[in-house]
Structure 1
Amino acid sequence: AAAAGGIGVLLAARCVAGLAHGVIVGAATSVAVSLAGPGRQGRAISLVFGGISVATVLGVPLGTLVGQWLGWRAALTAVAVLGALALLAVRRTVPPTAAMGASSLAGQLRGALSRPVLAVLGTAVVLFTGQFTAYTYLAGYLEDVTGVGGRFVGGYLLAFGTAAAVGTFVGGRCADRRAAATLTAGCAGLTVALLALHLCGRSGAAAAVLVACWGLAGFGLVPALQSRIVELAGPGGDFAATLGVSAANAGIAAGAALGGWTVTAHGVGTVVPLGAAICLAALLAVAAGARLRPAPDTTPTSAPHSLPLDLALDRERTVRA
């Protein structure tokens, strides 16, 4: 991407990077859950997504500065160098881990594409669509509706990112206790924050607090959402972990497109109430799906003594459930 001589090559390179991103996040989730062991799934997932949140808080402003001072090619080159360093760190420090459930692709697909998992994945698409219908145009909303000067918008976005990182780590601990309840509470908090921002968004102080609450709730629910997907997938946990990332990205893309159409047709002031309405629909779906349980595991498995102890215990719990 950094060496691209035209827009076509640049877009193709970014698409490849996007494909790699989805693989990395899904694999990192599976590895983290496997290394953490039983009872720490939510915290393990929160480390993965909390790392993404912290990196976003730090990387976006740093990348912007590098791009402004040295050009966009320098910014992309820096990303490539950091990626190479991350690759070396993974090769040296991350040990091999056991698969979460079925070893065959058919067994993974059977669990990952079960009705309970598909229901939660559909809810995730709606949830992220609502959130990013508003977030994609948050800077414009703050400038036009709240009246924040352009140079101060970054402070609001920093507050959002910092709260998102904190929410991710806190949400991971809560998800280990009650993932379904954490997901419902986070979705409710997100909906209330967006609705309150619509009603009180003309006040700069109120907007700052509500944007932070939005980040806290909107990203605090992510570990619980991913935990529910992996839990409901049973033997398809590895594959389902990547589907959760795909659902989130699909919602982000849909939200950006819907927000763009809304801004063009009705103005930037309408994206926040529209996002709140969509998140309310997601909240209803989350509440309805709180009692979902994993589909029965019919995948043939080897004898328990051939499995790692923690994996055998997890499978036993799944069968009992």
Structure 2
Amino acid sequence: MRSVGVKQTMDHTEIELTGSDRPGLLSELSAVLKHLKCNVVNAEVWTHNTRAAAVIQVTDEETGTSITNLERLSRIKALLCNVLKGSNKSSLAKTIVSHSVTHTDRRLHQMMFADRDYEQTGEDVLEDRQRPNVDVVNWYDKDYSVVTIRCKDRPKLLFDTVCTLTDMGYVVFHAKIDTEGPESYQEYYIRHVDGSPVKSDAERQRVTQCLEAAIKRRVSEGLKLELCTTDRVGLLSDVTRIFRENSLTVSRAEVTTKDGKAVNTFYVRDASGYPVDAKAIEFIRQVIGQTILKVKGSPEDVKSVSQEPPTRFLFGGLFKSRSFVNFSLVRSYS
């Protein structure tokens, strides 16, 4: 399922997108928005289990305000749907227009849940030690179910699990949360809104899968790139195009702008599944210019190569001299 939804506020137009993930998807979407004279002011993009979801806030390039022309909004939605379909033209696409306001992270959880990203479709890249342990049992004499979660602790973990249980129609009437070192232990006593516990093995499995997915959506494997620069129209399109041209794909992104400054965080991986090539990172430094580069993590996470000077795709004037890029290699749980 592919979908594009639009929400209006006085300051910006909010676009929601869900569909299949693929290398270069964010680059293609941002290029379309640039072509349509939309300036991306804020965005958050998640990918998990071959699925992608994004909440993107845009303004009109000329006025700097929200886009209200219905014909133009219809064109934006249609073109973004075509990008989400890619080469699979038989895929369904739908558009929705809503004026409600929802917390961005909460909305991303709801979108990926609705897109059934919890259904396993391929190999799980998480190591066994990183995979969350979720267990669901019924206490029939108490008429409730107990959900226990053991996993690596990280910021917003409680938010992610409670939102998911709520969106699935469960009421949490008692909970125990404990952290010791890097590990987290959560225990929830839940019932359906009608007062009944988990009713079947199939439902128990679904609760387990959905909570695992909610936890893993924020776990970003790969290279973390933090970009701070003067904001301008098309910045996101230019940056993600450079990533794509150097065989990097974005697995998660957070884009914010404030007072004329853009602060963007990207988690990127090699599009072919290999370790990120250090030569590609060195090349990106040359493209952007005036950069600060920091690489953290284990040596095997970045493939070491000779530092040959790049000779192609040089866009030295792309960023102002006062801009900086900070790269760090991490496994992010935030």
Q: 1 or 2, which has the higher strand percentage?
A: 2
More helix per residue: 1
TM-score by length of 1: 0.26
- Compare relative contact order (CA 8 Å, sep 6+) and give the higher one, 1 or 2: 1
TM-score, normalised on structure 2? 0.25
